[in-house]
Copies of this chain bind each other. A is one copy, B any other.
Amino acid sequence: MSLADSRPGQAGPARGRPRSEAVERSIIEGVMKLLEDGVPLADISIERVARTAGVGKATIYRRWSGKEELFVDVLRATEPPDPQLPGISMRDDLIALLEPLRRRGLASRSSVILHNVYAQMKSSPKVWAAYHATVIAPRRRTTFEVLRRGQRDGELRQDVDIELLNDLFMGPMLVRAVLRPDAELPEDLAAQIVDRVLEGLRPDQP
């Protein structure tokens, strides 16, 4: 699951001293602490992480191949768990999918981590791909399923472009996260977005 399992290829039972999971946690916690303390991402070096976590540099490199790989796991650790979909109506499911994004925009911890690490990660295609595949894509797929179910159940017109619709839902959240990080996020923002987009898309409309 985590990226931190790059033990050199071998099958047999682990030999020698086993890796300490506590060490692994303390490294990730160390990075988070630094980010929360307002240390700019660019100032977070492997060397500093090692000092903060009270760990040798080699111990970090044994687990991750570089800063970016480490940050992917840090970002994952802040990822809210996949939301439980009520499954009653399409509208409520869509809101349930959007709500965690809004909530994360509020939490200072997640927020500061997101805004920094996220941006950083993007400059490394490989790392971005890993994050996209395990975090972004699954959510996209879930949204697609919800929308298709809505079409099947008569809650959504058949002729709309599912992809564009998805982007219309996610867009405002992203705009606020990326372009206007200080924007206020009203409690019913997810509902506002969903209702505004769905307006005029009900099957009984022209």
Contacts and interface: CB of A to CB of B under 8 A. Distances in A.
Interface of A: 40-42, 115-116, 118-120, 122-124, 132, 136, 160-161, 164-165, 167-168, 170-176, 178-179, 192-193, 196-197, 199-201, 205
SS class, residues of chain A in contact with chain B: helix
A42 B193 CA distance: 37
Contact of A178 (B115, B124, B174, B192): B174
Nearest to A192: B164
Contacts of A168: 168, 171-172, 193, 196-197
Contact of A115 (B122, B160, B199): B122
25 contacts: A40-B124, A41-B123, A42-B123, A42-B124, A115-B122, A119-B119, A132-B179, A164-B192, A167-B171, A167-B172, A167-B176, A168-B168, A168-B171, A168-B193, A168-B196, A170-B171, A170-B175, A170-B179, A171-B171, A171-B173, A196-B197, A197-B197, A199-B199, A200-B201, A200-B205
Nearest to A16: B56
Contact of A119 (B122, B165, B170): B122
A164 B172 contact: yes
Contacts of A173: 171
Nearest to A122: B119
